[in-house]
Structure formats: C-alpha cells, structure tokens
Amino acid sequence: MRKLISLMHVSLDGFCGGPKGEMDWISMNSTIFADATEVIHTAGAAVYGRNAHDMMKSYWPKLLGKPDSPEVQHARWVEQIPKLTFSRSMTSSDWNNVHLRREAKEIFADKEQPGKDLLIFGSPGLVHAFLELDAIDEFWIFQNPVLLGSGMAYWKGAHKTKLKLLSHKPFDNGVIRLHYAKETA
C-alpha cells in the first residue's frame, strides 16, 4: 500500500497559513528546497486541494520555458507527475495529468493502487479532511521560527496519534525539518 505523506511549512505555534491564508512568513532557501526534493522524488503522485492546484498551475508551467532557472528540474517533475486534485467545485482542468477527485475518502482507493507514495503539497483544508479520516501516514514538517498568533491550524481534525520521529534536520535560517511517521502497533 502506498503511503500518504503531508509536506507542510508550519509556524512554531502550529499554523500553516496566516489569518487570510498568507504564506509570507515561510523561510525558504535553496538548501530547504533541495531537502524537500528528497521526499518529492519518492512520490508517485502529487496531491492537491483546489487552491494548491491553482497556485501550482499558475507558477510551475511558466518555468518550463526558462532553462536557466534553478527550479526548472522541479517544474519538469510537476508537469509530468500525476496530480490527484480534490475539489467539489472543479469539473475539469486543462493542466497536464490532473486526476480529479470529489471526496477526501477517495484517497483510500488511491493508496491501494500500485506505485510510489502520494505526497500532499500544502493544501491545509485537504490535510484537515485527511486527518479526520486518519489517512496520513507520514509528515514532513518544515518548522519555521515564527509565531503567527492566529491563522490556519495545521493539526485541525487530527485524532490522537502516536508519531515516531524518523529524522530531523536544522537549517541555518532557523527552520527545522521534522519527519514523522505513525507508530505501528
């Protein structure tokens, strides 16, 4: 069975977006991007909510025509990877390799398919739905050194779940990457 992995930037007080969804507090640099690429290249599909789909679609395809961009390799990966997009309002997408899903519970059928793991990029609303279903197997959390005070909570809908720290990595800008997996009985 494929694992469902959440990759998210989180503030020290547990928010993954500001009060209006803003992400201007995220500390990102080439070292963190390279570290995230480690998990990205283990994925067999990207998993998006509608907002993340729209944001990714508006950014990554533009880089395909810029071969000198340091992010062009990732843009190529985004273009070719299957994109499982969960939305009740979308009826189609003109982006390459998008597979629409209406209900969060459909992820269980996707996990049963052969192939590499499924990676959720951001998509806090979708993460909340998956947490309520207890469907997420691993968490790649980029803990940012900032307190937001309010915003979009990362752990909303989570059940009590014991996690095992698989790895951690500090970065020179104060971000710490934490990699957790559900403990198995």
Residue 95 in any domain: the answer is yes
- Please report, for the domain that includes residue 38, its CATH number: 3.40.430.10
The identity of residue 8, as a single letter, is M
Residue 82 in any domain: the answer is yes
pLDDT digits (tens, 9 = 90+) for 21-71: 899 999 999 899 889 888 888 899 999 999 999 988 998 888 888 877 778
The identity of residue 64, as a single letter, is L
Phi and psi dihedrals of 3, rounded to 5? -90, 150
Confidence at residue 34, expressed as pLDDT on a 0 to 100 scale: 87
Residue 29 in any domain: the answer is yes
Q: Which domain holds residue 83?
A: 4-122+131-172
Task: Take residue 109 and report the two structure tokens written for it.
Answer: 């059928």
H, E, C per residue of the chain:
CCCEEEEEEEECCCEEECCCCCCCCCCCCHHHHHHHHHHHCCEEEEEEEHHHHHHHHHHHHHHCCCCCCCCHHHHHHHHHCCEEEECCCCCCCCCCCEEEECCHHHHHHHHHCCCCEEEEECCHHHHHHHHHCCCCCEEEEEEECCCCCCCEECCCCCCCCCEEEEEEEECCCCCEEEEEEECCC
Residue 183 in any domain: the answer is no
Structural domains in the chain (count): 1
Confidence at residue 38, expressed as pLDDT on a 0 to 100 scale: 83
* pLDDT above 80 (res 185): no
pLDDT digits (tens, 9 = 90+) for 155-164: 988 889 999 9
Residue 177 in any domain: the answer is no
Q: Where does residue 177 rank: exposed (0-12), middle (13-18), buried (19+ CB within 10 A)?
A: buried
pLDDT digits (tens, 9 = 90+) for 85-113: 999 999 999 999 999 999 999 999 999 99
Cα gap 124→157, rounded to integer Å: 11
pLDDT digits (tens, 9 = 90+) for 166-183: 999 999 999 999 999 999
Residue 18 in any domain: the answer is yes
* pLDDT above 80 (res 116): yes
